[in-house]
Amino acid sequence: MSNQLILIRHGKSVWNKKNIFTGWVDVDLDSEGTSEALKAADLISKVNLKPTAAFTSFLKRAQETLNIIVKNLKLNDLEVNYAWELNERHYGALQGLNKDEVKEKYGEEQFLKWRRGYNTPPPALNADSEMNPKLDPLYKGITNLPLTECLADTYERVIPYWENNIKPIVLKNTTIISAHGNSLRALCKYLFSVSDKEIVNLEIPTGNPLMITLNNSCKIQSASYLDPLRSENLPDIGA
């Protein structure tokens, strides 16, 4: 028996369009991002997939993407699970800064380590910053909230949540996860067995559903983007 999992990175946000490091800052979808979500719903409909379970982050750009898909697929009774563990990677003190300006100031090598490296977190956000998630009512009661993260840190929160909360649901449902570039990179690193070195090459396109077929051990049998014209190269299955 096989199980269907749909992963989707939220559509372009207003800060994606402005080339700004976003992280945990809660920005809206851009109009292009809304269009991407609408197209994603159409692509899912065309392959006759009807999600019966859904997960998303605490951030509204991922939630809005999922809401558009749910509405257009008429999944009125779909229960949505919200998890901060599926949030984007926290970009620390880089949040709110233009990526080109950061690259110019610190050099391309350091920029790439912060943006795509596995073990190098950006400089930490000041604890008194208004962007400190501890000050946001969304995260009330949650301890150990980050002030910066590398992808390895993101992996350490995404994968336990996958194992404990999502995987049991996936084994019984067609499941959709609407999340972010780095939380999905962390999950794909785990599912596709991507090395720390090779994960730097994995890019997740916005608004393009990735359909994954899993066996009962949650090992990947097949995987493909529903819009092949907007797809990045996927890792080899079981590499």
Q: What single-letter DSSP state applies at residue 221?
A: E
Instruction: For the beta carbon of residue 143, count every other beta carbon within 10 angstroms.
Output: 6
Range 35-44 burial, b when 16+ CB lie within 10 A, else e: ebbbbbbebb
In tens digits, the chain (239 residues) has pLDDT values of 679 999 999 999 999 999 999 999 999 999 999 999 999 999 999 999 999 999 999 999 999 999 999 999 999 889 999 999 999 999 999 999 999 999 999 999 999 999 988 999 999 999 999 999 999 999 999 998 999 999 999 999 999 999 999 999 999 999 999 999 999 999 999 999 999 999 988 999 999 999 999 999 999 999 999 998 887 778 876 54
pLDDT at 236: 73
pLDDT at 235: 81
pLDDT at 114: 94
- Which residue ranges form the domains of the chain, and what is each CATH number? 8-147 (3.40.50.1240)
User: Hey, which residues are catalytic here?
Assistant: 10, 88
In sequence order, what DSSP letters do the residues of 15-72 get, joined into one string?
HHHTTB--TT--PPBPHHHHHHHHHHHHHHHHTT---SEEEE-SSHHHHHHHHHHHHH
pLDDT at 239: 45
pLDDT at 200: 87
Output the CA torsion 163→210→121→148 (10° steps): -70
The answer to whether the predicted template modeling score (pTM) of the entire model surpasses 0.75 is yes
CA angle 39, 42, 43 (to 5 degrees): 90
